[in-house]
Structure 1
Amino acid sequence: MTQSSAATMQQLLALTITLYLTVILIGIPQVQGASQNVNNDGNITWADLPEGEAYSARSEYDEGAFPLPTTWDLIDGFLKLISPAPPPYELINDAIGGQLDISTLTGKITEFQGNLMGFAICFVIGALFVVIFPIVCLCFCCCRCCNNCGGKMYQEQSDSDRCKRVCFAVSLVIITAVLAGGIGTAYSVNSFMSTTVDTLPEDIIANIDDILAYVNNTLGEITFLVDDQLGWTLDELGGDLEDIGTLVGEPVRDQLNTNVGPALDAVYALSDAIDNTYDAMNQVDTTQNLLDPQWVAFRSDLQAVHDDIVADCGTCGCCGGTYPDESGLTVLANYRDLSNGGRYPQIAVDAALPDLLNIKNQDLSAAADVGKQSFEDIPETLKNTTNDAITDILNTLDQLKEEIPKLLNETESQLSGLDGMVEPYKADINKYGGYIQDYDMYRVYAVYALYAVFCLIVLLNVLGMMCGWCGFDRDATPTLRGGVSNCGGLTLMSAVGISMIFATFYMLFTSLTFIIGGPIDRLVCDPVVSRQLFTETVDQEDAIVPGYYLGDTLFQNSSIPLTVTGILEGCEENKGVYEVFKLEYFFNVSELLDFNQRLGIEEGGSLTDLFIPDINDQFTNISGDFSSIKILTDDTRDILNDFKNSPVDTIDWTVTKAELEKDLTNEALDPNDLSVYAAQLRSFAETLGSPDQATFEGHADTIDGLQTTYVAPLLASAAQMVTEIETLETYTSSIDTSVDNTLTAADNAQNYIDNNVDGLVTSEVVKYADRILGYPEQFVEYALEQVTTEVGRCEPIANLWNSATRILCRNLLESFNAIWLTLGWCTFFLMPSIIFGVKLAKHYRIMDYEDSYDEYLTPQEMEMAHLSQQSPMYPASNKVAPGHV
């Protein structure tokens, strides 16, 4: 390989490497994705690379229909037969390495025997044929003109003539068929080559378009990685940075809630207890206020009825009778308050209610809401107090975002002009391809003309044999054969003459085309197509330079196992260019993405150190100020203490409840149902005369009225009041304990917050940093996989190579080689065609002389007849042989 070609390859490879280096260099700090990406709590599911443009070049070689595959195999087999030795790879290696000179070449000339001796022998044979065959034909023609070598129009007859004629005819038929097969093969090859020429510009342009599409697809994949994927991830990363309250504050709050929640719930429960206690005591007092005047009125009215009955009994003299005892018409239960000598603790209730109302009006629930809100605001507090640190990180990201378009635009600018660069070449290909297609018709005509002679010979042979066979009469003597038979013989002799005229020219043309195409096919195309040329030369370790030649040429590192065969096989498998071209030796992606090494971080450095050099300090600053979080404010605590110290829980309701549960009156018949006494009083009234009867019936009606107006409502209100007092007692019985427990729980929760919030925040910040910094790590892993295995799948390169070898070595060179194969084939079979044509023509043509035989002639007479037949004195028209009567 010349220095200029090596430099060109290096430039092309460097351009390719630039594409991938851009991806990796940009991919070091961040990550990216497309709309198909999924961010599942910091774990990214990446989208696939874009499909890109489809490739149009044919990837498979079409050998054509029969007999073309057989022809190619025949050419390859023949060339391998005459040149069995492989090419001189050592000399090629010396030539590539610049160590070949004339002395070395001449010193190893004997090593070429296995390569060139067969070609030389075949060429010499062809040259001898060109020299000898005309001489032989000339001698043959001259001798026949002198009636020698079968030129005399005389055919010796024998019993085996029929057998000879059949054998000659069959042989000539076979030879003619072989000639026709060679002609048909030649025309098939000619058509195949025409198709190749017709599609040549299209195939070349298709391969060029595929390479352009390959570059554009690769650039599209890089753009996808750098622009789409990276932009998406930067948005995710920035969004997470701005959402620190949710990602850090909420987990901290949730963990604190295990202690803070119960404390806040206890405060809200006490707030409800205060409200319920006040409502219950107020209800008891309200019921008492309704009960007291009713009780006073009832006692007054009951006493008045009692006095009236006593007075009327004294007037009517009923004391001597049996009437109901009025002494039970007095109030037993005392529902009045203590201030009036009763059993209800009105003074204590009046003292407790204002305190409870004051405590209730202070709204413990609202005060607790303040503490709860400060707890609920932990995410917002964290976001507000860490705004500066987050802003620093976002500024770093903004700087990186500004660099991405620069790097990408630089890469795009290097490749954007490729389409324009190749357009003139594509135009030239179409232009000159049109010229080739236009002038290819002359090649087609030349081939037609070249093989037209063979067609003529085949046609003459066929016509000659058909005429000879159709016009032949086995009963006719050689001198009496018909005209059709004679025409067949003359036609065969015409084919013989034409064969003699053109055979030398064809052999000369065959030899020249053979000596040109054969060695190129065997010594160049065969090893190139089979790739043995590369495996034995540039691909072989230590064959040209110590190590690998391509690694030394392209990377200046001969230890890189880069081979042409490996490149082609990898591209045929459609692998990524990074893997195929061993670019890890040029720039190792894994080492390139080693953050510690690139950023100079010592072993044992923090994960946050892997983002940017000062990121650790930036995340350390994310701590937040949570001193404002108070589960119980001072006002809330005062309310609880006031509630605890209120007299509401000191009131003794035992006497009051006992009084409320007593019988309302002293009536023996039914202390709580005066209607029983009223009924007895009516019965007594019926024993009296008028007007006393009416008087006592009036007293009975009054007592029934008291039962309805006072007794029933008082008893119902007393029972209600007992229930209300019991409800109140359930609230007041646990006031001290509830308040103490709530204060304890609140203090414990506050201590837990004060002592643990910073640690929890730090722990969550570490998780948060891992999440944030997990984006570049995931991108690097993703980009590494894409770059090393997916980006730049190089099947078009293999297609380009296969297409070039197909067009040059298969379509063009083997079609060219088919010319000498079919020409040599037909020329070779012209010789047996000449021989059998001459032999067979003797059996079809009209002879001037013939033999006359009689089974009664003696041997001596037969000999004399033979001699006389040879004499000009006995012409062939004499139907009777000498001596025969």
Structure 2
Amino acid sequence: MGLCERMRGVWRPQGSAGALRACIGAMLLGLSLSQSTCTKGVAPLNLTEPEYQDTTARDTGLGFMAPLVQSFLHTVQPNPFPEQIILKTINSYPQVLSDQELIKEALVYEVGFLVCTAIGILYIVLMPIVGFFLACCRCCGNCGGMMYQKQTSSIDCRRRTLYWSTLVTTLIILAGNICMFRSNAALKMSVDETPVQLNKTLDNIQTFLTAVPQQIHDVVNESYKTIQEVTRNLDAIGPQLGTEIQKRFTVPLDQALLPVRSLNQETGNITVQLKELNSSLARLQSSTGRVQGNITDVKDRINRTLSNPLCVGCVTLKPDLQTLPLDISATIPIPSELQSAVDEVVRINLPARIEEVESFFDSIPQTVANETEAMVQNSKQLLGNVEKQISEITTKIPLSGLTKISEDVSRVHGQINSVTAEVKKVEYIRWGVCVALCCVVLLVVVCNLLGLVLGPLGLSPSADPTKRSCTADSGGTFLVMGAGFSFLFSWLFMIVVVLLFLVGGNVYILVCRPWNDGQLLKLIDSSNLSTQITQTLGLETKLSFSEIYRDCQKNKPVWTTLHLNELINLDETLNVSKYTEEIKEQFENTDIPLSTITLLSPEVINQLSSFSSKANGLDSSAITQQINNISRINLNTTADKLDLAATKVNVATGEELRNEASDLRKIQASIESTIIPQLENLNSSVKSLQSMTEKINGTVGEVLRNVGAAQDFLNTNTTQIVKAESKKFLDCQLGYFTDYADWAKLSITQEVGRCQPIAGALDSAEIIVCEYVVQSLNAFWCSLGWCMIFFIPSIIFSIKLAKYYRRMKRSDVYDEHIVMNHIPRAQMKIP
């Protein structure tokens, strides 16, 4: 501050210099504060989500059968899901068979299936028995076995009724047979598609199980990147923090050095101009000296000529010629005070002062690096502790369990691939057997249809029953064959129906229906399984598989789905304030002293002030006046007077005067060609020098103002700037950890392990089990049972209708209500 006070004493512009400099310093400080920036690293907004395969169910084409089958099964089993019975069965295993009460409850629940099974068994038992007795009766001529048909008035009506009844029944069986073919094809497609869908589902689970640890590691690795970034910034603290400090000094120092550079330039220009002025004056004096010598010589000759006695009348001319201006000597004063002031400024060596300030400015980064070396090393050690603390996330989150599950999934995946070939072989056999069943049913349908076509085609109602055509007789035979095949195979097919009904129906009732409406998950929630998993994970909140499934359907992260906040305190793990506070404390305790620099010493300021005053003392009027005086000299006028005087004297004297007049004209020509240009050049140099000196005052004033403001700025704000920029640099580095912690919390709690693939896997499993296999299986036994049920009216109608087409052995004639029966004659037996 003493330097500033001395500066105020040296330079006092109009107004209050202290207030002006304070204003300038405040403006400089504001500009420097506005230039500080902090570029923070930007953490990724979202983690990379894995790509999953599409497990959308393919249409099996049996959608029309599903409502029919499900409606029948709901009728057979209208009771709700037996959650308590299943739980008791699970809890009492393996003593289930000894628990009579539990068996009774299960039988009561399955009463609908038992009734249907009893009906099926009755069908299985009675159908072959009825067929056997019917066959025996027909062989004995009863039950339609007698080849005789009584003719009545309603025979045509009965035949048509039986025909249409048989046709409708056959068409119904044909529709069921078509459904059998379609359901068999759908079941084959389902079995073929099941390994593909299972593989896709397992692949999705495997991808999910692999992605979760990878995403956790990505979050942790991002902390390593953050720590590495901060470490790099600490290693480069000199360039980074030093550059920011430099930016704060740039404006005041630039504004201080700019007029100094201008002053140095102007001083150099003045020095050059002074040299040019001195050189011009020397040349002018040399030229005027020669001209003055010539003038003096001519003037002496003129005086001798006029003093010559022979010059008659010259005495009268001598006074006039003596008064002529023949003096051309130049006595122009050289500005020595200005020259001495300029020399003093040159000796100050302003470029060296500028270079000193620039060296101070350029040395700031290295000074910062040297003073913070120990602090940087300690901070890097603390960053290693931060890295170790954040890496604990991978150990606290139970990722090893996911690895084990992933291994199990891989093992299941391999087993599926290994048994796929065997499954395809078994499926091929099953498909062949079912095709055979369909073909047998189709055989019955074909027999009935052939009978229904050939019978009417070859029948003549008016013909004698004993004389019916072969076509009609074949039609009747096909109808009997259809009934025979029905009796022969229907009971066997009903065994298949009953077995598939018990398996497929119960799977739908006990698995698919509760799976679809969520009862199965509630059963799992009620079991000990969820409790065991909760205890295994060490959670306080009991896991609910229903809630997990709903959360996964909404694609929520595993953090909220599995309540992982009970396993790991994420806020505590990501809270690195203990280490950051130590780093902050070390920063605050680290002093970065910048050497105090004096921009201009008091002696320099005094010399500049003296230079300014001396530059203002340059008087160019005397120089200009002498230049004008020399410029007004005209020797031609004197020469003219000599020529005039020569006419008034004798010839010899006149000749001398004319010669002297000629010499004056030559001198005048020399003045105009040499002296006058030098005078003009000198005049231009004087004006240029005067213009330069007039600027010196303003330049020196600007130098003193700006340098004073900059010196005040440095003296009062250097420590503040260093501390402020150090704090901003520290806040910038610690801001990396704040940003990372916020991003890590957001990523782990909202992005990591979005479990929609798990819900998709359960949905895909439901599709594979229920929509693919069970639905196709239920459609097949329903279609087959449909056909078996309508085999009964088909047998009755076809057997009764067959008699109207077959050829009878005995005739019965109906005429006007009198029936004539053919009575065989008695024949005498000849022994």
TM-score of Structure 1 vs Structure 2, range by shorter chain: 0.7 to 0.9
Q: For the Cα contact (< 8 Å) 1:685–1:693, is it kept in 2? A: yes
Change (3 A) 1:399 1:268: same
Determine the structure 2 residue equivalent to 1:849.
Answer: 810
Distance 1:579 1:328 in 2: 122
State the 1:512 CA deviation: 3.1
State the 1:310 CA deviation: 3.2
Structure 2 stretches lacking a partner, 5+ long: 1-36
Give yes or no for the alignment of 1:663 onto 2:629: yes
Give yes or no for the alignment of 1:488 onto 2:475: yes
Give yes or no for the alignment of 1:319 onto 2:314: yes
Q: For the Cα contact (< 8 Å) 2:580–2:734, is it kept in 1? A: no
State the 1:193 CA deviation: 3.0
Determine the structure 1 residue equivalent to 2:504.
Answer: 517
Identity %: 25
State the 1:756 CA deviation: 1.1
Distance 1:380 1:431 in 2: 70
Determine the structure 2 residue equivalent to 1:882.
Answer: none
Q: Match of 1:453, as an amino acid?
A: V
Distance 2:330 2:307 in 1: 33
Give yes or no for the alignment of 1:377 onto 2:371: no
State the 1:62 CA deviation: 2.0
Q: Match of 2:354, as an amino acid?
A: A
Q: Which moved more, 1:86-95 or 1:398-407?
A: 398-407
Change (3 A) 1:168 1:674: farther
Distance 2:527 2:400 in 1: 38
755, 758, 764: which is aligned to 2:716?
Answer: 755
Instruction: Trace 1:99-118 onto structure 2 (pairs within 5 A).
Output: 115-118=109-112
Give yes or no for the alignment of 1:44 onto 2:42: yes
Change (3 A) 1:874 1:519: farther
State the 1:698 CA deviation: 1.7
Determine the structure 1 residue equivalent to 2:725.
Answer: 764
Determine the structure 1 residue equivalent to 2:375.
Answer: 389
Give yes or no for the alignment of 1:60 onto 2:26: no
State the 1:486 CA deviation: 0.9
Determine the structure 2 residue equivalent to 1:453.
Answer: 440
Determine the structure 1 residue equivalent to 2:236.
Answer: 243
Give yes or no for the alignment of 1:577 onto 2:558: yes
Change (3 A) 1:114 1:707: farther
Change (3 A) 1:211 1:854: closer
Change (3 A) 1:688 1:118: farther
What secondary structure does 2:815 align onto? coil
Change (3 A) 1:773 1:141: same
Determine the structure 2 residue equivalent to 1:70.
Answer: 64
Determine the structure 1 residue equivalent to 2:593.
Answer: 625
Calculate the TM-score normalised by the size of structure 2. 0.82
Q: Which moved more, 1:164-173 or 1:134-143?
A: 134-143
State the 1:216 CA deviation: 3.2
Q: Match of 2:630, as an amino acid?
A: L
Q: Match of 1:364, as an amino acid?
A: L
Q: Which moved more, 1:206-215 or 1:641-650?
A: 641-650
Distance 2:326 2:45 in 1: 93
Distance 1:819 1:769 in 2: 76
Instruction: Trace 1:729-748 onto structure 2 (pairs within 5 A).
Output: 729-732=690-693, 739=700, 742-743=703-704, 745-748=706-709
Q: For the Cα contact (< 8 Å) 1:323–1:681, is it kept in 2? A: no
Instruction: Trace 1:801-820 onto structure 2 (pairs within 5 A).
Output: 801-820=762-781
Q: Spell out, residue by residue over 1:90-134, the C-alpha distance to the aligned partner (whole angstroms, 9 max, x if none).
A: 555677789999899977999879953322222222233334444
Change (3 A) 1:566 1:406: closer
Distance 1:393 1:708 in 2: 89
Determine the structure 2 residue equivalent to 1:641.
Answer: 606
State the 1:700 CA deviation: 2.0
What secondary structure does 1:155 align onto? coil
What secondary structure does 1:319 align onto? coil
Distance 1:695 1:416 in 2: 134
516, 520, 524: which is aligned to 1:529?
Answer: 516
Determine the structure 2 residue equivalent to 1:173.
Answer: 167
State the 1:378 CA deviation: 2.7
Q: For the Cα contact (< 8 Å) 2:313–2:648, is it kept in 1? A: no
Give yes or no for the alignment of 1:182 onto 2:176: yes
State the 1:48 CA deviation: 5.4
What secondary structure does 1:664 align onto? helix
Distance 2:518 2:404 in 1: 34
What secondary structure does 2:483 align onto? helix
Q: Spell out, residue by residue over 1:21-76, the C-alpha distance to the aligned partner (whole angstroms, 9 max, x if none).
A: xxxxxxxxxxxxxxxxxx99215162754465x544x51122413xx222333322
What count of residue pairs does the alignment treat as equivalent? 787
Q: Match of 2:314, as an amino acid?
A: C
Q: For the Cα contact (< 8 Å) 1:86–1:523, is it kept in 2? A: no
Give yes or no for the alignment of 1:568 onto 2:549: yes
Distance 1:420 1:130 in 2: 49
709, 730, 739: which is aligned to 2:670?
Answer: 709
State the 1:496 CA deviation: 1.1
Q: Match of 1:60, as an amino acid?
A: T
State the 1:847 CA deviation: 2.1
242, 253, 260: which is aligned to 2:246?
Answer: 253
Q: Spell out, residue by residue over 1:780-808, the C-alpha distance to the aligned partner (whole angstroms, 9 max, x if none).
A: 33333333343334344334323333333
State the 1:472 CA deviation: 1.7
What secondary structure does 1:853 align onto? strand
Change (3 A) 1:735 1:147: closer
Q: Match of 1:179, as an amino acid?
A: I
State the 1:550 CA deviation: 8.7
State the 1:833 CA deviation: 0.6
State the 1:318 CA deviation: 4.5
Q: For the Cα contact (< 8 Å) 1:323–1:684, is it kept in 2? A: no
Determine the structure 2 residue equivalent to 1:499.
Answer: 486
Distance 2:509 2:414 in 1: 34
Q: What is the root-mean-square deviation of aligned Cα atoms in Å?
A: 4.2
Calculate the TM-score normalised by the size of structure 1. 0.78
State the 1:300 CA deviation: 3.5
Change (3 A) 1:231 1:557: closer
Distance 1:40 1:123 in 2: 82
Determine the structure 2 residue equivalent to 1:878.
Answer: none
Determine the structure 1 residue equivalent to 2:158.
Answer: 164
Q: For the Cα contact (< 8 Å) 2:179–2:780, is it kept in 1? A: no
Distance 2:533 2:401 in 1: 25
What secondary structure does 2:42 align onto? strand
What secondary structure does 1:69 align onto? coil
